[in-house]
Amino acid sequence: MAGAIVEPLVIEEAQKAPMTAEDFLRLPNDGRPKELVRGRVVSMNLPAPRHGQICAKVVRLIGNFADENHLGHVVSNDSGVRTERGPDTVRGGDVAFYSYARIPSGPLPQGYLPVVPELIFEVRSPTDRWSAILAKVAEYLSAGVTVVCVLDQMTERCHVYRNEEEMQTFSSDRELTVPDVLPDLHLPVRRFFE
């Protein structure tokens, strides 16, 4: 979603039939961030640099941990995650982790991956509405993502969501743990916001 979770700003041109994920992938890049939501192309705002800074921290911290422990792939820049089919939805998670059990090591294949990641981080910007964030979290979990972490840049907290469990909140002075995905990770939440 080009780094920010916001409600759709503009629906592109009126489309007669819902667009598929494959059609969406082939669209020419016009430099504007977009997602595919139930077969419709939705334009998004570009995030502010603070949003990107927090995303970059997540990539470095989680990516280094995954690399050092040979655990999996970390992707960013709103890499497409297919969350629904018929009509198709492709969301752009800020940062995502795919274990080597889901996607073998080595270069990732072209196109959208056939599976969803185990872990997604979204960064909440000041303009993001909680209703839109929670809808996207529910969509990820329904698609099979194990854990969704929402980093709130205003409160410097990490909200952790799993299916069928209560949301957990980690304040900046606590350590983030996700034992069901990254068993040995113990990361102070404040590091994402430094």
What domains lie within the chain, and their CATH numbers?
Answer: 10-193 (3.90.1570.10)
Question: Cα(155)–Cα(123) distance, rounded to whole angstroms?
Answer: 12
% of the chain at pLDDT higher than 90: 82
The rounded mean pLDDT for the chain is 91
Which burial class, exposed, middle or buried, applies to 102 when counting CB atoms under 10 A from its CB (0-12, 13-18, 19+)? middle
Give the pLDDT score at 78.
87
Question: Cα(17)–Cα(36) distance, rounded to whole angstroms?
Answer: 13
Give the pLDDT score at 32.
85
Put residue 86 in one of left, alpha, beta given phi > 0 → left and psi -120 to 50 → alpha: left
This prediction's pTM: 0.89
List per-residue pLDDT tens for the chain, 194 residues long: 444 444 444 444 455 789 999 999 999 988 888 999 999 999 888 889 999 999 999 999 999 999 999 999 999 988 999 999 999 999 999 999 999 999 999 999 999 999 999 999 999 999 899 999 999 999 999 999 999 999 999 999 999 999 999 999 999 999 999 999 999 999 999 999 99
